[in-house]
């Protein structure tokens, strides 16, 4: 039964091999549609998407591309590469959601194509194709490809950097090897400009551990270190130097507070237990994660003794394992932190699937039983939470916003495990692999379809757009005991923040921001001024706010989360 698909596949491969550009071109077009079709479907989610849209918006407005500012306040938590790219997108396409998410989607596409070329170079075109598609339809990777954060750019650039390094070690001496290593240094520098020192920590520990395990220290001489480091510093260094010259407080906050203290302490209040990323990994790469134990067991036979014969596999394993451990040991954890380990895992899964097709034996039942059990577990977790924990804040919010779609999402989780399980019972490897890809695609499509329904809990777009229609020159927009980070993006102006500092606190200590970072006493004074003031606050704060305000307060509109008022009398 498997001979016919194999024959057809070989014919296709022979046709494509004569046109080496055709396959990556077609793959790129398909993946561009995959990452691009949903970019404008959702409002900007606060805080991350609002933050990473507002900072470049202010850069475009002020012309200051050196010192990042959020709501007019110095903001040194991250380097500027993505801000600069976003500023270019804003100047070219405007402030629509589609334009603002164009770069994250582009980096998602870049990461998949990089995985394709790495897999193809190391193990053949089938591995490259499998790996690229596996990565694209992994839930966490797909989700982050449509979210405006720094995690997807970081992941894509790390993938190019480490892939270039690995391929460079295989190239003979000459211009080709030099080119691969210079690409490694260049993209490592861009990674540092994307998210800071993690851009050198991850490549450094992966490459260092790999060289030490193989005992091949001679590779250090083949890496063109002197000129490579000069290239790295020429790209990553200037912004760090000039921003520190312009802002004397930069070095202490950026290097000490945002790197050392973030990793070693609970200063950012994002502490989670060490095992936090284990369920994140299994859910974020489902259904492929069900095969991780079997794949590792299959690879481990004679793995240490023959490590030099499996040098590339060792590199991919270290690339996945060491960042996972690094972030697991951190005192600050967020779900997207482990996104950079998905590309090497996709390469390992792609190689494993390709090898299974080349072997006469069929897939075993054990791994597909685990896959089915994972599907049942994830489905049960969604359904049982909705039934037995209806009053839990997160469950109640999801049930209200998504409604019956929550159960369709649960069913898609089940089908992603059930379809491959049933296909494997027919003992046809091609049908089984097709069911795997089909189930994963169905899962992603279902989740993507319902994501826009959670806008109400993550964005103030509706209120902001109503507000933008009535704003007149001289009007002031305030937020009370909160900062809705997507608000200034939608109304195209800075807002006045009352009795809240949060992540803006550091910036308020190094320059005078008292004109728009105010306390309750200043709010009471301004509220009585003749100009119109619009104010947003959480619904839970509304009654307390009325006790603070002097004079009139008219409720203009409210959502389940936020209210909008002004300092005018309401007209009946």
In a domain, 338, yes or no: yes
Exposed/middle/buried for 434, CB within 10 Å: 0-12, 13-18, 19+?
Answer: middle
Say if residue 267's pLDDT is above 70. Answer: no
Cα 353 from Cα 99, distance rounded (Å): 36
> Mean pLDDT of all residues in the chain?
91
In a domain, 334, yes or no: yes
**Residue at which a domain ends, from 310, 329, 349:** 349
Residues 167 and 232 in one domain: yes
Same domain, 497 and 526: yes
Confidence (pLDDT) at 428: 80
Residue 3 has pLDDT above 50, yes or no: no
Contact 324, 281 (CB under 8 A): yes
The per-residue pLDDT for 258 is 83
Write out the residue range of the structural domain in which residue 561 sits. Answer: 458-566
Average pLDDT over residues 383-402: 85
Task: Choose one of 324, 349, 374: the last residue of a domain.
Answer: 349
Interatomic CA distance for residues 554 and 565, integer angstroms:
5
Instruction: Give long-range contacts, CB 8 A cutoff, 24+ apart: 218-227.
Output: 219/169, 222/169, 222/173, 222/177, 223/165, 223/168, 223/181, 224/178, 224/181, 224/182, 227/182
Task: Report the domain count for the chain.
Answer: 3
Structure confidence at residue 21 (pLDDT): 82
Confidence of residue 8 (pLDDT cuts 50, 70, 90): low
Q: Are 421 and 371 in contact (CB under 8 A)?
A: yes
Q: How far apart are CA 455 and CA 460, in angstroms?
A: 8
Name the CA dihedral angle for 460, 461, 466, 471, rounded to a multiple of 10 degrees: 80
Q: Which of 164-168, 192-196, 308-312, 524-528 has the lowest mean pLDDT?
A: 308-312
Query: Is 93 within the bounds of a domain?
Result: no
Grade residue 403 by pLDDT with cuts at 50, 70 and 90: confident
pLDDT above 90 coverage of the chain, percent: 76
In a domain, 395, yes or no: yes
Do 315 and 397 have their domain in common?
Answer: no
pTM of the model: 0.93
Map residue 564 onto helix, strand or coil.
strand
pLDDT at 285: 96
For the stretch 405-443, pLDDT in tens is 889 999 999 999 999 999 998 878 889 999 999 999 999
- On whether both 519 and 545 belong to a single domain, the answer is yes
- If asked whether residues 262 and 179 sit together in one domain, one would say yes
Same domain, 272 and 404: no
Does one domain contain both 401 and 445?
yes
pLDDT at position 366, please?
A: 87
Give exposure, 463-477, as e/b (b: 16+ Cβ within 10 Å): bbeebeeeeeeeebb
Q: Is 407 within a domain?
A: yes
Any domain includes 333? yes
Q: What is the pLDDT of residue 1?
A: 37
Nearest to 203 by CA among 222, 187, 227, 225: 187
What's the pLDDT score for residue 295?
A: 81
288 touches 134 (CB < 8 A): yes
Same domain, 538 and 497: yes
Answer yes or no: is 61 within a domain: no
Q: pLDDT above 70 covers what percent of the chain?
A: 94
pLDDT at 2: 40
| Shared-domain flag, residues 136 and 265 | yes
- Output the six-digit token pair for 388: 């037995």
Q: Give yes or no: residues 140 and 151 share one domain.
A: yes
Q: Given this model, what pLDDT does residue 443 score?
A: 95
* Among candidate residues 387, 367, 197, 196, the one with its CA nearest the CA of residue 291: 367
**Confidence band, pLDDT 50/70/90 cuts, at residue 4:** very low
Looking at 297, 315, 349, the residue that finishes a domain is 349
User: Could you report the per-residue pLDDT of 489-536, keeping only the tens digit for each?
Assistant: 999 999 999 999 999 999 999 999 999 999 999 999 999 999 999 999
If asked whether residues 222 and 202 sit together in one domain, one would say yes
pLDDT band at 265 (very low <50, low <70, confident <90, very high): low
Question: Are 326 and 271 part of one and the same domain?
Answer: yes
pLDDT for the residue 296: 80
Distance in angstroms (rounded) separating the CA atoms of residues 207 and 210? 5
Query: Which of these ranges, 109-118, 451-460, 507-516, 522-531, has the smallest mean pLDDT?
Result: 451-460
pLDDT category of residue 301 using cuts at 50, 70 and 90:
low
CB atoms within 10 A of CB 246: 11
**Which residue, 571, 526, 520, is CA-closest to 548?**
520
Q: Evaluate whether residue 266 is within a structural domain.
A: yes
């Amino acid at each position: 039964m498997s001979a016919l698909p194999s024959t057809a596949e070989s014919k296709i491969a022979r046709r494509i091999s004569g046109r080496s550009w055709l396959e990556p071109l077609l793959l790129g077009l398909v993946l561009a549609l995959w990452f691009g079709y949903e970019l404008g479907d959702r409002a900007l989610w606060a805080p991350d998407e609002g933050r990473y849209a507002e900072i470049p918006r202010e850069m475009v407005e002020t012309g200051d591309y050196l010192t990042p500012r959020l709501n007019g306040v110095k903001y040194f938590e991250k380097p500027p590469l993505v801000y600069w790219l976003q500023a270019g997108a804003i100047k070219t396409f405007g402030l629509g959601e589609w334009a603002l998410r164009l770069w994250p989607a582009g980096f998602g596409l870049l990461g998949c194509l990089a995985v394709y070329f790495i897999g193809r170079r190391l193990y053949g075109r089938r591995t490259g194709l499998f790996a690229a598609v596996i990565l694209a339809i992994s839930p966490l990777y797909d989700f982050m490809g449509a979210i405006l954060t720094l995690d997807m750019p970081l992941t894509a650039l790390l993938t190019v950097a480490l892939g270039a390094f690995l391929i460079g070690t295989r190239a003979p001496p000459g211009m080709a090897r030099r080119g691969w290593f210079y690409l490694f240094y260049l993209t490592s520098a861009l990674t540092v400009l994307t998210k800071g020192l993690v851009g050198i920590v991850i490549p450094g520990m992966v490459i260092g551990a790999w060289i030490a395990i193989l005992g091949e220290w001679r590779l250090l001489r083949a890496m063109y270190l002197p000129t490579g480091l000069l290239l790295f510093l020429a790209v990553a260094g200037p912004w760090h130097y000039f921003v520190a010259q312009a802002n004397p407080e930069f070095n202490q906050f950026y290097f000490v507070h945002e790197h050392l203290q973030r990793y070693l302490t609970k200063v950012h209040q994002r502490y989670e237990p060490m095992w936090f990323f284990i369920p994140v990994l299994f859910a974020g790469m489902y259904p492929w994660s069900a095969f991780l134990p079997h794949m590792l067991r299959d690879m481990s036979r004679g793995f240490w003794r023959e490590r030099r014969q499996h040098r590339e596999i060792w590199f991919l394993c270290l690339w996945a394992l060491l960042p996972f451990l690094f972030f697991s040991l951190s005192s600050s954890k967020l779900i997207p932190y482990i996104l950079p380990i998905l590309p090497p895992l996709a390469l390992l899964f792609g190689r494993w699937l390709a090898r299974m097709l080349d072997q006469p034996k069929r897939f075993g039942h054990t791994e597909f039983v685990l896959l089915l059990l994972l599907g049942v577990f994830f489905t049960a977790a969604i359904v049982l939470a909705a039934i037995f924990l209806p009053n839990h804040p997160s469950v109640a919010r999801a049930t209200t916003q998504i409604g019956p779609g929550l159960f369709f999402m649960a069913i898609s989780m089940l089908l992603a495990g059930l379809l491959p399980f049933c296909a494997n019972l027919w003992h046809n490897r091609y049908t089984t692999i097709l069911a795997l890809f089909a189930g994963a695609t169905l899962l992603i499509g279902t989740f993507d379809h319902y994501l826009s329904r959670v806008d109400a809990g993550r964005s103030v777009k509706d209120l902001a757009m109503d507000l933008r229609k009535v704003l007149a020159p001289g009007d002031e927009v305030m937020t009370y005991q909160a900062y809705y980070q997507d608000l200034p993006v939608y109304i195209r102006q800075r807002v006045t923040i009352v009795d809240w500092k949060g992540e803006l606190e550091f910036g308020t200590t190094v320059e005078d921001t008292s004109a728009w970072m105010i306390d309750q006493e200043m709010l009471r004074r301004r509220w009585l001024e003749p100009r119109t003031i619009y104010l947003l606050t959480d619904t839970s704060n509304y009654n307390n706010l009325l006790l603070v305000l002097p004079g009139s307060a008219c409720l203009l509109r409210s959502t389940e989360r936020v209210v909008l008022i002004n300092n005018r009398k309401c007209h009946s």
